[in-house]
Amino acid sequence: MVNNRTARVSNTIQAARGALLAEAGVEIAVARLLGDLARPEGAARRVKADATPFLCGLEGEGALAISIQDAAGQLDLNEVSPDLLRAVLGVFATADEAAAITSAVVARRTATPFRLVEELAALPGVGAELYTAVSPHLTLYSGYTGLAQENVAPALRARLAAIDPPGASFFGSLPTDRVFAVNVVARISAQRGYRLETIVHLDPEDPRPYRPLRWRGQGMRAASTGRGGRPGMTLRDLAGPLPPCVVTAF
């Protein structure tokens, strides 16, 4: 019984440590984003906000994989144009399936707006595999019918650009820099880690420069991927020497 209690205490400590490391990753990302917002108007952005992960190490503590994506690079389920939604679904499903699901999405949001991206999984024709593939590209926070090209995840951007007629018509010059998905994987050992998925709203003029709109965390084991099988970094991806985690490293 003593051994079991000791193991539980150890697990609790490790989970808390992983959560704190992951939260540090969010703070690093937010600090970097706020630094970009403070740059002169028209200055080039230094943060890559298209979900490309950045890996770094915290000496003696562990390692982090931090990805940032501007919501303008994701499809807003309540606003996206049917043509764009059908095209993106068509990357992961057949044309007939994409058309049917698009019709179901439009009917659903006309009757009742989506409150959670997860509600998509309950629509007819949206199986677990399709939902897992498409959900990282979805949001409820951009308010746009199209996409900001530079903020779309690279693999999806390439697929859309190859569509005939040209997928470039799906992209527009959209205001960005306010709502971001910030996802962090924290590795505290070869076998243990923590995944934190957040959506944050930035407001540099507010005493609290960012407000979390969503905050979901879970412990990870060596073989873990994302929540519910969602694609993402594993602990193995964070093994080996990494550059230090500093704000200017992005």
**The dihedral sign for the CA sequence 160, 166, 171, 173:** positive
pLDDT at 185 over 90: yes
Q: What is residue 182's three-state secondary structure? A: strand
Supply the DSSP string of 11-63, one letter for each residue: HHHHHHHHHHHHHHHHHHHHHHHHHHHTSPTTPPP-S--BS--EEEEETTTEE
Query: Helix, strand, or coil here: 57?
Result: strand
pLDDT in tens, 108-158: 999 999 999 999 999 999 999 999 999 999 999 999 999 998 999 999 998
- 249 has pLDDT over 60: no
Which pLDDT score is estimated for 209? 84
**Cα(first)–Cα(last) distance of the chain, in Å?**
47
Task: Please give the pLDDT value at position 3.
Answer: 62
Closest by Cα among 12, 9, 24 to 62: 24
The sign of the dihedral angle between the CA atoms of 214, 196, 117, 227 is negative
Write down the pLDDT at residue 7.
Answer: 62
> Amino acid identity, residue 225?
T
Which pLDDT belongs to residue 169?
75
d(CA 98, CA 27): 38
- In whole angstroms, what is the distance from residue 118 CA to residue 196 CA? 17
Percent of all residues in the chain with a pLDDT value above 70, rounded to a whole number: 87
Give the pLDDT band (50/70/90) at residue 228: very low
Mean pLDDT rounded to a whole number for the chain:
86
The letter for the amino acid at 233 is M
Model confidence pLDDT, tens digit, residues 9-48? 667 778 889 999 999 999 999 999 998 888 777 677 788 8
Average pLDDT over residues 35-63: 85
User: What is the CA 64 to chain-centroid distance, rounded?
Assistant: 15
For residue 84, is pLDDT > 50?
Answer: yes
Per-residue confidence (pLDDT) for residue 225, from 0 to 100 = 52
Alpha carbons 153 and 138: distance in angstroms, whole number = 11
Alpha-carbon gap, residue 217 to 183, rounded angstroms: 10
Q: What are the tokens at 78? A: 């309540």
Q: What is the pLDDT of residue 246?
A: 78
Global confidence as pTM: 0.87
pLDDT at 200 over 80: yes
Question: pLDDT for 161-171, tens place per residue?
Answer: 888 666 667 88
- Given pLDDT bands bounded at 50, 70 and 90, which one contains residue 160? confident
